[in-house]
Amino acid sequence: MKPRAHQKHRILRGAWRAFLVLCAAGAAAGPAAAAETAAVPASAPADCPRCPEWTESQKPFRVYGNTYYVGTRALSSILITSDAGHVLIDAAVAQAVPQLVANIRALGFRVEDIRLVLNSHDHFDHAGGLAAIQRLSSAQVAASAPSARVLMQGHSDPDDPQYGSLPRGPEPLAHVRVIRDEETVSVGPLRLTAHLTPGHTPGGTSWTWSSCEAGRCLHIVYADSLSAISAPGFRFSGSTNYPSAMRDFEKSFAILAALPCDILLTPHPEVSDTLARLKRREGGAAPDAFVDPEACRSYALAARSDLQKRIAQEQPSR
């Protein structure tokens, strides 16, 4: 990078940090909360072609019971609340953190009350805001072993199908608690279970929990991305860096298709029609457009068919 460009970058980064501090302070409940968040520095914004579109603002809303959507229009961030503290899953790109913070506060909750932060996969567009959220809340971050390694080193490894084509980041985290397949994590009365669903990345993780409204409890699944996307040259059908890619995907499809699933949420909300379902609900659709017990199975089947198409393209032509 040229010195002038470097200097400009530093100035922009400084302005960005001040912006987050102002946003956090402005959205806080009172002077005490403002003082709490005033010293928290943000992470450097991700530089990606689709970031402006991905960070368009979205009004936060209740999905069901104590489960809320607090993300942007195109990047999910899910808050599960309790009187003993909250759980947040995914934190979008770094520059979306002020929006996530404002969305959480608009719902009447405090970022400082987040006790545990979970992640679907370690790419910049779902993990980029984790470091800033952790600083704001002092929450523990928990992830699968491969994801924890990436989150602590701040970059993907060559076994990631998109290795080499990803923007820089996410900002490294000092400590990530490693969770195992089927492990249940808890905050107060909240219980969430991890399901390792690798393929999109080696550490990909889906999360399940139950939320209740008036005594009716539903199974909610936050299913990780299952798209077979890669950097040029990577072959899902035969990678020396990630030899188990296809087997991993098949295992993940089977897990997700079989999960008890009333409501499906995904890191990219359009994949599970989240905002379209919200519109139908707001239009008075009955039954509730979010409740769709076939959604997980359909999601897994569509992803399997996409992988098969991709594998067919990878075969050498005869």
Residues found near Zn ion in the complex (CB under 5 A): 123
How many whole angstroms separate alpha carbon 112 and alpha carbon 117? 12
Question: What's the sign of the alpha-carbon dihedral 135, 140, 143, 146?
Answer: positive
Exposed/middle/buried for 154, CB within 10 Å: 0-12, 13-18, 19+?
A: middle
Q: Report, in Å, the least distance between residue 203 CB and Zn ion.
A: 11
**CB half-sphere exposure, 130, CA atoms < 13 A:** 34
**Cβ proximity to Zn ion, 86 vs 304, nearer residue:** 304
Three-state secondary structure call for residue 292: coil
Q: How far is CA 234 from the centre of its chain?
A: 24
Q: Report, in Å, the least distance between residue 293 CB and Zn ion.
A: 26
Specify the DSSP element, H or E, that contains 68.
Answer: strand 67-69
**Cβ proximity to Zn ion, 41 vs 172, nearer residue:** 172
Contact 280, 289 (CB under 8 A): yes
Angle at 133 between CA 14 and CA 275, to 5 degrees: 105
Q: Report, in Å, the least distance between residue 96 CB and Zn ion.
A: 15
Contact 102, 129 (CB under 8 A): no
Contact 141, 134 (CB under 8 A): yes
Q: Report, in Å, the least distance between residue 198 CB and Zn ion.
A: 12
Q: Which residue number is nearest to Zn ion in terms of Cβ?
A: 123
**Cβ proximity to Zn ion, 24 vs 75, nearer residue:** 75
**Cβ proximity to Zn ion, 37 vs 201, nearer residue:** 201
Q: Report, in Å, the least distance between residue 287 CB and Zn ion.
A: 32
Q: Report, in Å, the least distance between residue 200 CB and Zn ion.
A: 6
**Cβ proximity to Zn ion, 110 vs 123, nearer residue:** 123
How many whole angstroms separate alpha carbon 168 and alpha carbon 33? 32
Length of the chain, in residues = 318
Q: Report, in Å, the least distance between residue 177 CB and Zn ion.
A: 21
**Cβ proximity to Zn ion, 86 vs 126, nearer residue:** 126
List the structure tokens of 139: 């929450």
**Cβ proximity to Zn ion, 64 vs 236, nearer residue:** 236
Q: Cβ–Cβ contacts within 10 Å for residue 30, how many?
A: 8
